[in-house]
A and B are shown apart, each in its own frame.
Chain A
């Protein structure tokens, strides 16, 4: 398996633009997580899904952020409109409930909002 796949790996955009980050979890995994990492706040959980259903979105900073999981092999995190303070590395992770719940992380998307 190729592991968790994220795209793009790097994104530079201007304030006010819409940004869409994509994630393909490991096949067979039933949990998907979106995290954000900054120097100031560390690694924060934004939202997670179980069987494509959002379970906990309490970490989503505000209404500008939305996440979807239309099927078991794809998820998106959208920011509209983007702001400079959204600049961060965004990680997607997946796990399988039948295992040790070990989460497998993708390589991340480095987002810069100018």
Chain B
């Protein structure tokens, strides 16, 4: 699976949009981009995934660049409960169901 690069940490203000970047310059055509988050002392939680098109669900939006070499997870209105480590993962569905977690981005939402 392709490697991802994320900033180690970022702060954002409560009520504002949080934009979390991820670089995956070696992504191949069959690989999907997945986002998970891990709130302190809990197991990781699935947020969203996509292949080429932008995706939106009740938690977040995923914007994937046209060349697919990077993506951005958008939390539209960050709350204090969104404080967590966010993981961007690239995965080839045809290669099995493994997820390889990197270091992620530690997001702190401040009042």
Contacts and interface: CB of A to CB of B under 8 A. Distances in A.
Interface of A: 4, 31, 33, 42-45, 48, 50, 55-56, 91, 93, 95, 97, 100-108
A27 to B, nearest CB: 18
Interface stretch (B3-11, B16-24, B38-46, B70-78): B38-46
Interface string B79-94: 0000000010000010
Interface of B: 36, 38, 42-46, 49, 87, 93, 96-103
Contact of A108 (B43, B46, B101): B43
Contacts of B103: 42
Given A55-B96, A56-B96, A103 B101 contact: no
Given A42-B102, A100-B49, A107 B42 contact: yes
